Each structure stands twice: as C-alpha cells, then as structure tokens.
Structure 1
C-alpha cells in the first residue's frame, strides 16, 4: 500500500505544475478518481484485516479472497455488494441447476469460484486473455477447494460454444466490448439454448448493447439491468466511518454505465 501511495504522490507532483495539469475540469476529475481509488484500496486493506480475507456478504459470503483484484475494485467484492443488481438473476439461473458455467472474462474468479462454491454440481470454465488473471483464478479456486471443477483457459471463440451444445449452460460475459465479436449466434447456434448474463460496453464499442440484443431477440427473453445505489447493510467496520468512505467502499470503479443484458432462452437447451 505504501508503494501505491508513493505512485499517487508522484502522479500529483508531475501534474501540479505542468501545463493544463489539474487546473482543467477534466484534470481535476481525473485527480479525484486517482485519490478515490487510493482510498478504496485502503478500505479494502482494512476489510481484509477484519474478515481474514473472506467475502462478508452476498451469495458468495465466506469465499476466501486474494489480496487484490486483477481488475476493478476489491472492497465491494469483499463486502459482497459487487454487481449486486445481478444477484436475483444469478439465483434464478442456479435454480435451473446448470451443468456448465462459462465465465468469459473471468479476471481473478469472483464469479467462476463463487459460483463453483454454491453450485457444487456444475462444471466451471473460466476464460481470460490475461495470464495473470488465469493464475489468480486458479489460486483462488485452490483456496476455496473447488479447483477440480474450475477449468481455466485463454481466448474463447464463438465456435467454442458448440462444445457445450445440448447442456444446461449459464454464460457470464464481461470482455470490455469484445462481446460484439464473441456473441454470434450465426457462428454458434448452441447459444440459442443457453442462459446469458452479458455486461455491455457501449463506452468502448458504441451501439454494442443494441446489436447484441437484436441478435438474441428471437431466441431469448431479454432483461436490461442497470447498476443502481447500494442498499445492503455495511459491515460493522464501516458503520461509523464518514459517508465518503461508505460510498467509496461500494464504488466499483466504473467510468461510465455498463448495463447488463440478462437473456433467458425461450426454449431449453
């Protein structure tokens, strides 16, 4: 944490006296974001010390967690509020007892390992293009005793969905806009029978949410889910903290809206 704090200090030193620097609205906004991420990391460190490194709430409560997230905020993962708008949709999907869970863009395995813990009959395939993310996912699977059912792999192509044709399959996709390239029912007819939860990224690929929706309208019932305020009770450590700390504890580092499409097939696999 000290080394990260020094990085923040150097970042500000380099911009305080430079041209433009922090004097523009854009520069000030970026500076605020850098400080907010630093404070969020401090909160996550305190939460880990309190919980022993385990998730405190939500459907993955009790999951042993790594010291850092390979992408995004750690604190809301530890609290259990991370992407909690999806919780009812995950519970509904698990009620159908999927045989296979595909987590594409798995990062360190929040969903891959978390779902493996609460869906003990499912086989989980976790994919990411970052080697560090895959290693972190394997480590966390071992920490939670599910490594035999969590299989990691790299780039996932549209045709790879065909390996799971005819099986009850839950697909979770978070790949920063590349959902535009991956979710191609014309190349993977098996998608018609799969339940999908897809984070969309118009911020990187304008119009991608509408394109994905159009591809699945004929085969799936589609619900758009947008992030909202966090209302879950906070852990005791945060109850007497400042309101700003309470907000930062559940902040997920999003720079722009990234709504989900939750898609349930109109027919079974």
Structure 2
C-alpha cells in the first residue's frame, strides 16, 4: 500500500504544476479516479482483515481469497457484490449441473474457484494469458481445497472448444474485447450446445456486442444484462462508514459500461 501511495503522490505532483493538468473536466475526472482506486485499495485491505481474508457475502461467501486481484477491484469481490447482476444467471447455469466450466480470462480465479466450490462435480478449466493470474488462480484453488478440479492454462483458441463437444458445458468469457476473436461458431461448432456468459467490451471494440450476439441468435436464447447499482446489504464493517466509502467498497473500476451476453442453447445437442 505504501508503494502505491507514493505512486499516487508522484502522479499528482507531475500534474499539479502542468498547464491544465487537473483543471479540465477530463483531468479532474482522471484525478478523482486515481484517488478513488487508492481509497478502494485501503478498504479492501480492511476487509481482508475480517474473516481471515474470506468473501463476506454473495454466492461465494466464505471463499478464501488471495491477497490481491490481478485485474480490477478487490473490495467488491470481498464484499460479495462483484458483478452481482450475474448472480441469478449463474444460479440457473449451475442448476443445469455442468460437467465442465470454461473460465476464459479467469484473472485470480473469482469465478473459477467460486464455481468449483458450488459445483463439486464439475471440472473447471481456467485460462488467462497472464502467468501471474494463472499462479494466483492455482493458489486460490489450493486455499479452498479445489485444486484437483481447477486446471489452469494460457491462451485459449476458438478450435479448443471442440475438445468439450457433447458435454454439459458452461463458458464464462471476460477478455477485454477479444471475445470477438474467440467466439467463432464457424471454427467451433460445439459452441452451439454450450451455455455462455460473455462480458462485452464496446468500450474497446465498438459494436462487438452486436456482432457477437448475431453469431449466436440462431442457436441460443440471448439476454443482455447491463451493470446496475449495488443494493445488497453491506457487511457490518461498512454500515457506519461514510456514504463515499460505501460506494467505493462496491465500485468495480469500470470506466464505461460492459454489458454481458447470457446465452442459453435453444435445444440440447447431447
């Protein structure tokens, strides 16, 4: 935390004396974001000191967590509100008793390990191009006693879906715009029979949501899920804190909306 604080200080020193550095709307917004991330990290550290570093709420409550998120905000993961718009869709997917869960863009394993705990018969394949993320995911699987069913790997190619054809398969994708390159039914016909939850990133690739959705309209029922305000009860440590701290505790660092495509096969391909 101390090293990050020094980074924040240097960032502001460089801009306070620069012409227009923080006086424009864009500069002020960026400055607020930098400070908010710093405060969010402080809140996350306080949350980690509770319950021995475990998730406090949501479907993954009780999951032991590694020290940091390899991408995005740690605090809402520990609170249990992270991407809670997906909670009912995850419950529906788990009710279908998946044999295989593919988590592509797994980061430190929030979904890979969390779903392994909730689906004890499923094998989870967690992929990320970051070796740091892969190592963190393996560590979190060990902390939660599911390492035998969580298998980590690197880059996942469109054709790799074919290895899981005719299996009850749930696919979760969060790869910062590359979902357009990965989700290719023309290269992986097995995708037609898989449940998919895909975070889309028009912020990086304008129009990617519509292009990916069009590829699956013939084979899947599709719901677009938009991020929304957080309404879940907060843990005791946050209930008497300032409203700003309460907001930052559930802030997910999103710079722009990243809606999800929740796609369910129209018929069984087994």
Partner of 2:236: 236
What whole-Å deviation, never above 9, does each CA across 1:139-176 have from its counterpart, x for those lacking one?
A: 10011000100000100000000000000000000000
Number of the residue aligned with 1:178: 178
CA distance in 1, matches of 2:45, 2:126: 26
Structure 1 position 247 matched with structure 2 position 232: no
Output aligned runs, 1:1-269, within 5 Å.
Answer: 1-269=1-269
Work out the CA distance in 2 between the residues paired with 1:85 and 1:56: 17
Q: Give how far 1:23 is off.
A: 1.4
Give the deviation of 1:178 after TM superposition: 0.2
* Normalised TM-score (structure 2): 0.99
Task: Encode CA deviations 1:197-230: one digit per residue, 9 max, x unaligned.
Answer: 0000000011000001000000000000001110
Shift of 1:21: 1.0
Q: Secondary structure at the match of 1:254?
A: coil
Q: Which ranges of 4 or more aligned residues in structure 1 deviate by more than 3 Å?
A: none
SS at match of 2:197: strand
CA distance in structure 1 between the partners assigned to 2:90 and 2:24 by the alignment:
42
Question: What is the CA distance between 1:3 and its match in structure 2?
Answer: 1.3
Query: Residue 198 of structure 2: SS of its match in structure 1?
Result: strand
Root-mean-square deviation (CA, aligned residues, Å) is: 0.6
| Uncovered stretches (5+) of structure 1, i.e. residues with no partner | none
Give, in angstroms, the shift of residue 20 of structure 1: 2.5
Structure 2, gaps ≥5 residues long? none
Distance between the aligned counterparts of 2:140 and 2:91, measured in 1?
Answer: 22
How far does the alpha carbon of each residue in 1:106-148 deviate from its partner, in whole angstroms, 9 at most, with x for none? 0000000000011000000000001100000001001100010
Alpha-carbon deviation of 1:24?
1.1
Q: CA deviation at 1:19?
A: 2.6
| SS of equivalent residue, structure 1 residue 76 | helix
Q: Deviations over 1:208-254 (max 9, x none)?
A: 00001000000000000001110100000000000000000000000
